[in-house]
């Protein structure tokens, strides 16, 4: 029965290839820059209409300081534990980028802003659901969560991350349709991202006439930058980076202000408080008497931890890929964040980067392999049909 359903679902994808490409083009050419709330919200309305036409109960989750998100579901009365499909509709690109770099296909590759990250993934999720519906799949509920502010790390909107945790709880598995990799890697772990600003206030003075009256903010922050870099612990998977530094006005004045922006990558959710505490301790130190230091938390994105459940789901995905003739996938970890971390925090085994395969996301060279749009849709369909309830 399952084999026959898979075959028919795959035939559905083959029959609707042009339709999938047309939707891909429409989504890429629809602006949705993460810092342009209006454009993200407009795309949310468009997607809501598309998803409702599939037959899903769909709602837009509205936010004041970030792009809106979408939650859709159907089959809530089905007897087995449900599946989460997740991803995001916002991109990193500025408004009007699509006008100068529209969707196009050249030599088997699709180009355009967000074509890889992750408009193609949205198409895969929607058509996997449509194909499953077409063959009468009715074993598990399916929930679709699409964020409108993933590219900013939900920095202005903590509720955007909490949405995934709250909506995913109690489900049996989750698939995140982020950027796929050309080497057939499937993401089973991601580092978390924590970002801070450290500011020092000093006392300005003329460097020639009265240097002793000054209190150098740059001197103070220089000591602290070294302290910050020394917090890196490769064995524990934590690395600190003082990425940008600003300070002073002219060379013949003692600087009364300096600022450093800090990026931290980490692998364990439990390390969040420890990271902040260590930076607070550095901020509380004084090397140059008369200076004051302020630490501000800008953004926190949790890591995707590689749990037993994650690896059990990966093994199912690997066996499925071999079964349907798409070759062996391998478990991959990366430093970039995604909302897959939040579904894992919710206790749901999750694999990430099951979207279209390609390279150079976040750049004008971003591309995706066209054939991977159809291959990955079939892959997800087969994984859903092969799912068991004993992943955790």
| Tens digit of each residue's pLDDT (9 = 90 or more) over 330-350 | 999 998 889 999 999 999 999
Backbone angles phi, psi at 358, to 5 degrees: 180, -165
Cα end-to-end distance, the chain, whole Å: 26
Res 264 pLDDT > 80: yes
In a domain, 361, yes or no: yes
Residue 254's pLDDT band (cuts 50, 70, 90): very high
Tell me, yes or no, whether 184 and 74 share the same domain: yes
The token duo for 254 is: 């003692």
Distance CA 212, CA 214 (A): 5
**Cα dist from 281 to 201, 231, 237, whole Å:** 17, 11, 21
Of 146, 119, 142, 149, the C-alpha closest to 23 is 119
CATH code, domain with 221: 3.30.70.360
Of 280, 287, 268, the C-alpha closest to 231 is 280
Residue 51's pLDDT band (cuts 50, 70, 90): very high
Summarised one tens digit per residue, pLDDT across range 55-66 is: 999 999 999 999
Tell me, yes or no, whether 291 and 198 share the same domain: yes
Distance CA 208, CA 363 (A): 47
Specify the number of domains making up the chain.
2
Quote the longest CA-to-CA distance of the chain: 89
Tell me how crowded residue 63 is: count the other CB atoms within 10 A of its CB: 20
Summarised one tens digit per residue, pLDDT across range 194-235 is: 999 999 999 999 999 999 999 999 999 999 999 999 999 999
Tell me, yes or no, whether 314 and 297 share the same domain: no
CATH code, domain with 59: 3.40.630.10
pLDDT of residue 335: 85
Task: Report how far Cα 51 is from the mean position of its chain's Cα atoms.
Answer: 21
Report the half-sphere exposure of 235 (CA within 13 A, side-chain side): 0
**Cα dist from 28 to 8, 100, 112, 368, whole Å:** 29, 12, 6, 12
Tell me, yes or no, whether 104 and 196 share the same domain: no
**CA angle, residues 4, 327, 381, in degrees to nearest 5:** 35
Distance CA 345, CA 303 (A): 9
In a domain, 391, yes or no: no
Q: Assign residue 107 a region: left if phi > 0, alpha if psi is -120 to 50, beta otherwise?
A: left
Tell me, yes or no, whether 74 and 220 share the same domain: no
Give the domain range for residue 63: 2-190+303-386
Res 155 pLDDT > 90: no
Tell me, yes or no, whether 296 and 320 share the same domain: no
Of 391, 376, 382, the C-alpha closest to 323 is 382
The pTM (predicted TM-score) of the whole model is 0.90
Res 392 pLDDT > 70: no
Tell me, yes or no, whether 71 and 175 share the same domain: yes
The token duo for 373 is: 């749009």
Are the C-beta atoms of residues 202 and 255 closer than 8 Å to each other? yes
Tell me, yes or no, whether 110 and 228 share the same domain: no
Summarised one tens digit per residue, pLDDT across range 4-42 is: 899 999 999 999 999 999 999 999 999 999 999 999 999
In a domain, 154, yes or no: yes
- Parallel/antiparallel/unpaired status of strands 257-266 and 330-334: unpaired
Tell me, yes or no, whether 221 and 264 share the same domain: yes
Tell me, yes or no, whether 75 and 171 share the same domain: yes
Asked if omega into 118 is within 30° of 0 (cis), the reply is yes
Order across the sheet with 357-359: list the strands.
Answer: 104-106, 109-111, 367-369, 357-359, 180-181
Tell me how crowded residue 101 is: count the other CB atoms within 10 A of its CB: 18
Tell me, yes or no, whether 26 and 137 share the same domain: yes
Tell me, yes or no, whether 156 and 45 share the same domain: yes
């Amino acid at each position: 029965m399952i084999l026959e359903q898979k075959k028919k679902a795959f035939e559905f994808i083959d029959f609707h290839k042009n339709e999938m490409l047309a939707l891909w083009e429409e989504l890429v050419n629809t602006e949705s820059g993460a810092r342009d709330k209006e454009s993200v919200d407009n795309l949310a309305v468009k997607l809501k209409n598309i998803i409702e036409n599939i037959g899903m109960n769909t709602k837009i989750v509205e936010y004041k300081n970030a792009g809106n998100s979408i939650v859709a579901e159907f089959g809530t009365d089905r007897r087995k534990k449900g599946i989460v499909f997740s991803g995001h509709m916002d991109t990193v690109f500025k408004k009007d980028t699509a006008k100068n770099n529209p969707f196009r296909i050249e030599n088997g590759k699709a180009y355009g802003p967000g074509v890889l990250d992750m408009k193609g993934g949205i198409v895969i999720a929607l058509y996997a659901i449509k194909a499953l519906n077409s063959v009468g799949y009715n074993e598990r509920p399916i929930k679709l969560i699409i964020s409108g502010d993933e590219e900013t790390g939900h920095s202005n909107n903590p509720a955007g991350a909490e949405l995934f945790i709250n909506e995913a709880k109690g489900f049996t598995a989750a698939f995140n349709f982020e950027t796929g990799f050309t080497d057939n890697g499937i993401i089973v772990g991601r580092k978390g991202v924590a970002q801070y600003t450290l500011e020092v206030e000093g006392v300005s003075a003329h460097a020639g006439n009265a240097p002793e009256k000054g209190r150098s903010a740059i001197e103070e922050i220089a000591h602290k930058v070294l302290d910050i870099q020394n917090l890196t612990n490769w064995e524990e998977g934590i690395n600190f980076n003082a990425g940008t530094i600003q300070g002073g006005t002219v060379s013949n004045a003692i600087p009364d202000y300096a600022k450093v922006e800090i990026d931290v990558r980490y692998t364990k959710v439990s390390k969040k408080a420890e990271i902040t505490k260590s930076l607070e301790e550095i901020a509380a130190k004084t090397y140059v008497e008369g200076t004051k230091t302020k630490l501000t938390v800008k953004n926190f994105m949790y890591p995707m931890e590689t749990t037993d459940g994650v690896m059990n789901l990966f093994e199912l995905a690997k066996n499925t890929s071999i079964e349907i003739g798409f070759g062996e996938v391998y478990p991959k970890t990366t430093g970039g964040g995604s909302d897959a971390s939040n579904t894992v925090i919710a206790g749901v085994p999750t694999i990430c980067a099951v979207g279209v395969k390609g390279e150079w996301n976040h750049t004008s060279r971003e591309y995706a392999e066209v054939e991977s749009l159809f291959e990955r849709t079939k892959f997800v369909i087969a994984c859903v049909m092969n799912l068991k309830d004993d992943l955790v």
